[in-house]
Amino acid sequence: MSPEKWQTILGQIKDNFEVVEEGAYKEDEEGGKEIEFIVFFSPIGKVKLEFITKPAVIDRKVIYSNRIGSQTQVEYIYSPDEKVFKLAAYQWDDDLDEWQEIKSSDLGF
């Protein structure tokens, strides 16, 4: 998913559906993620789309000790220039009162 495609999807949603909420926020985890989201009513109910932008992982270091019972730790090295984009879709579940992720396997593709 590219940022241009995301903007196209946003335009189509705003033209065809009732938008409830729209915004963006940042998280410090995974090298610093930027998340843009839109919540709207669709034929299947209340839907939330998130467009996630984060730095690409360029290396992984495993830190461990040879002592018995010691823990291992994985440290990721993130690219300062390259970005990775992801689109996540969620549907509101009234019974559980929370967002449930919509997976592509659930759609029958």
**Regarding beta strands 33-42 and 18-27, do their DSSP bridges make them parallel or antiparallel, or are they unpaired?**
antiparallel
Residue-level pLDDT at 31: 80
Residues 13, 16: Cα–Cα separation, whole Å: 5
- Quote the pTM value: 0.80
Question: Quick one: how far is CA 36 from the chain centroid?
Answer: 9
Would you state the structure tokens that stand for residue 85, as one six-digit string?
A: 């984009």
Q: What are the residues whose beta carbons fall under 8 Å from the beta carbon of 41, sequence distance 6 or more? A: 17, 18, 20, 47
Q: What are the backbone angles phi and psi of residue 28, rounded to the nearest 5°?
A: -85, -15
Per-residue pLDDT of the chain (109 residues; tens, 9 = 90+): 899 999 999 999 999 999 999 999 999 888 889 999 999 999 989 999 999 999 999 999 988 777 777 788 888 899 989 999 999 999 999 898 899 999 877 665 5
